[in-house]
A and B are shown apart, each in its own frame.
Chain A
Amino acid sequence: MSLWEYANPVKFLALSARVQPFAWAAAAIGIFVGLAWGFFATPDDFRQGSTVKIIYIHVPAAWIAINAWIMMLVASLVWLVRRHHVSALAAKAAAPVGLVMTVIGLLTGAIWGQPMWGTWWAWDPRLTSFLILFLFYLGYIALWEAVEDPDTAADLTSVLCLVGSVFALLSRYAVLFWSQGLHQGASLSLDKEENISNVFWLPLVVSIGGFTLLFLALVLYRTGTEIALRRTRALGVRLDRHT
């Protein structure tokens, strides 16, 4: 069986219907456990006090904001190369989810930054590239709405997605190659150094898992919605021709 079989909307919808119940349930459990564990059962940080509890929302939201764009990039490339409509619609479906996660990342970052840095906002490399990513999300969604022909819209938004990927990657890695920023290094990384104590790390990983599954469930459901809208338009045109 090839992965490309799922470019067929009927097969995609059948797979999506099988996966979604598990994704929704696991997302709800992951988010509930991660946030409840982080909020109620972890101690205050010796420097950050209770504001450390904000990471259980801020880090997963930022993780999804960046990775949603990477997922959109892959789907856009599939559209540009292989012209599979489902992939273009999946990218379109993911954008509002990524946008909301970016807003949550920006807001919770500002709320945390005020007591810790003494400012709601700084033109720090990571914060600035994250703000630009937010603007790219807005532009991407607006472009889909502005272009009437869906294939042209998919082409143009795919190109925009390629350009925006620079800022998605920049917001992930800015802290590594710009040392003058306010934002601290990564909370999660594959290096051997312990960046965060296990007391905070474990609930954070559960919360990130929950947010990731929520993203999966939302994108599957929203792609189904986009397929339904596309088919409704196509049938409408066919009906108009017959009447």
Chain B
Amino acid sequence: MIPDLGKYAEAVLGAYGLSLLLLAALLILTLRRGKKARAALRRIEEETARHGKG
């Protein structure tokens, strides 16, 4: 399945592995922070609406 990378296999696989790991970390942290921020906004908007009515 994996092509024959010869004597540079370590370098090529290392470059791909590290890069994909960093991209995955960026994606996960971005989505996690986004979800948290949007949930906090929803909560405070509900609270503001309650105060507005009261």
Contacts and interface: CB of A to CB of B under 8 A. Distances in A.
Contact of A39 (B14, B16, B25): B16
Q: Contact residue range for chain A?
A: 35 or more
B6 A243 contact: no
A231 to B, nearest CB: 6
A173 interface: no
A104 B40 CA distance: 32
A39 B45 CA distance: 48
Interface string B33-47: 110011011001101
Contacts of A100: 22-23, 25-26
A49 interface: yes
Give the secondary structure class of A's interface.
helix
A209 interface: no
Interface stretch (A139-147, A154-162, A181-189, A217-225): A217-225
Contact of A108 (B8, B15, B27): B15
A51 B11 contact: yes
Interface string A206-243: 00000000100010011011001101100110110011
Given A100-B22, A239-B48, A49 B6 contact: yes
A100 B47 CA distance: 37
Contact of B34 (A39, A49, A222, A232): A222
Given A40-B3, A235-B44, A112 B34 contact: no
B22 A50 contact: no
A99 to B, nearest CB: 9
B30 A222 contact: yes
B53 interface: no
Contact of B11 (A57, A103, A114, A214): A114
Contact of B15 (A49, A58, A96, A243): A58
Interface string A103-122: 11001100110110000000
Given A49-B8, A228-B41, A232-B44, A54 B15 contact: yes
Interface of A: 35, 39-40, 44, 49-51, 53-54, 57-58, 61, 96-97, 100, 103-104, 107-108, 111-112, 114-115, 214, 218, 221-222, 224-225, 228-229, 231-232, 235-236, 238-239, 242-243
Interface of B: 3-9, 11-12, 14-16, 18-19, 22-23, 25-27, 30-31, 33-34, 37-38, 40-41, 44-45, 47-48, 51
12 contacts: A39-B3, A49-B8, A50-B4, A58-B15, A115-B8, A115-B11, A224-B38, A225-B33, A225-B37, A225-B38, A232-B40, A239-B47
